[in-house]
Structure 1
């Protein structure tokens, strides 16, 4: 039996490929004009793409808002509650003319300021993810806590307590509004 000659076989394949290529090229017709997409298909595609993009953006926005609410509302009771506790300890020391009155006053001031700073930082970190009404309520608490810290700082045994009581009521009101606005756990 005789083996195929590789050179002859390669030449035969090359000749066949050229013949097929010339046949296909000779049978091809050129179509005049400009290729354009089907207008109705293009419009449907654009509508679908825009809808899909809007849905993805909406989903991301909703997830960011949910996280911002959970982060801020989750920390608020503990942070603001500590401020309330330290403030109440100061009031008890003030009312009892206790020897640790100044230390408790200073601790209440620093705790209220820390609470205000922490809540403010949470709102700032959330940026636009928090609903505007909830962000405004947190901001009111921050202002009220700072005002109460300022009034507490000026208290002495003989100072009138009217302004302190007003500032305390403002903090309590702001705290209640935030707690009522935050989702229940």
Structure 2
């Protein structure tokens, strides 16, 4: 039995080799005809390539715009923090009736105006959801600076400062993080 099984395996292997050689030989023969461009496939390919290029360009533009927005928001947060510190130093001096209250009031008014101008300068480069908030912030800080310069104390300053805090918080919330 063993001999017939061996013969069968050898015969099968030989047949497989012959068929394989025939397939390889069949693939190597030339095909007659003339090559022609498929215009509809070429147009489809060109449209896909253009669409892909436009999408990549759009993606790069969106990434650059987001990076600019993050930069503007970071500058706003830094400037707002410094402005609030200067304003709070004025309030502490005014509450203590300190001798340097006038100097700290002037420094606070300058800081408030600078923060308002910095925010105002960034408005054109920002998306609509931040433009309105920053416009309100600019107007509020200008009003607060005028109130400080005008020697106002108490409720009016507290109202303007509270509104400024609310606006700053809203802007921070609307800003993307890195």
Aligned counterpart for 1:133 among listed residues 105, 111, 129? 129
**Distance apart, 1:100 and its partner CA:** 1.0
State the shift of 1:77 in Å.
2.0
Equivalent residue for 1:183?
176
**Unmatched 5+ stretches in structure 1:** 1-36
Shift of 1:64: 2.1
Partner of 1:61: 61
**After superposition, where does 1:40-55 map in structure 2 within 5 Å?**
40-41=40-41, 43-55=43-55
Q: Take 1:117 and 1:94, find their aligned partners in 2: how far apart are those partners?
A: 25
Q: TM-score with structure 2 length normalisation?
A: 0.69
Q: Cα offset for 1:113?
A: 0.9
Whether the aligned pair in 2 keeps the contact of 1:72 and 1:123 (CA below 8 Å) is no
Provide, for residues 99-150 of structure 1, a one-character-per-residue CA deviation record: whole Å limited to 9, x for no partner.
11111101000011111222222333xx2xx332123323332222222112
Normalising by structure 1, we get a TM-score of 0.67
Q: Given the alignment of the two structures, is residue 70 of structure 1 paired with residue 66 of structure 2, yes or no?
A: no
Q: What is the RMSD of the two structures over their aligned residues, measured on CA atoms? A: 2.2
Give the paired residue count: 142
Distance 1:119 1:57 in 2: 29
For structure 2, the 5+ residue unaligned runs are 1-36
